[in-house]
Amino acid sequence: MENRHLFITDLDGTLLTDDRTVSHRDLETLHRLRDKGNVVAAATGRSLYSFERALAHMEADTGTFPLDYLIFSTGAGVLRFTGNEIIRHLAISRSDVMRITACFDRQCLDYMVHDDIPDTHHFMFRSHGRDNPDFFSADYPVSAVCRSNDTGYPGVRIRHPGFGRHASGRVADPGGPAPQ
């Protein structure tokens, strides 16, 4: 029986260049590894949504890109490229989210709480008033803000005026209009 190997590469800054492309040489290498029967995977902190956007930018998709698996959301999810199937996903319990965010609030730390996989492109954020480019930047157009205690996220309540909802890649603005 032939020895199979697992090859895992990082995505951003390793496989993806600064201009969000993959070099021809790297693509050829991934194809050769797979042709020899090896399993090829990429690991990333990106959400599945963000990875799919990167593929679209490269004019590729899960049917053509030379990977067998994607480990995404900093290891919380695993996608099998054949069939575009999520084969593993983990989430933190609601009670743990509440304990963790309460700790972050006591320390005045900014944070995000993402919906479960595959909907991690929807999330709430909590800003304690500092300039935070992860929440507010020219890359993310402003949408709406949650101004009530009902965030739509099970187990998470808005307790501070700086806690907004982010959906579909758009940042919520604490000074913006109320949601529809």
100 and 173 together in one domain: yes
159 and 101 together in one domain: yes
pLDDT of residue 135: 64
101 and 176 together in one domain: yes
Owning domain of residue 40: 6-89
Q: Is 135 exposed, middle or buried (0-12, 13-18, 19+ CB in 10 A)?
A: buried
Query: Rounded CA gap, 66 and 146, in Å?
Result: 41
Q: Is residue 111 part of a domain?
A: yes
pLDDT of residue 44: 92
What does the block give as tokens for 133?
């480019």
pLDDT of residue 167: 40
Write down which residue in 58, 74, 89 finishes a domain. Answer: 89
119 and 71 together in one domain: no
Q: Is residue 25 part of a domain?
A: yes
Per-residue pLDDT 10s for the chain (180 aa) are 467 899 999 988 888 888 888 999 999 999 999 999 999 999 998 888 888 888 888 888 777 889 999 999 989 999 998 888 999 999 988 889 889 999 998 998 888 888 888 888 777 778 777 777 766 554 443 333 333 334 444 333 333 333 344 443 333 333 333 333
Q: What is the CATH number of the domain that holds 66?
A: 3.40.50.1000
Query: How many domains would you assign to the chain?
Result: 2
Q: Is residue 1 part of a domain?
A: no
β-bridge pairing 6-10 and 39-43: parallel
Q: Is residue 124 part of a domain?
A: yes
98 and 175 together in one domain: yes
Whether the CB-CB separation of 65 and 55 falls below 8 Å is answered with yes
141 and 59 together in one domain: no
Query: Rounded CA gap, 176 and 174, in Å?
Result: 6
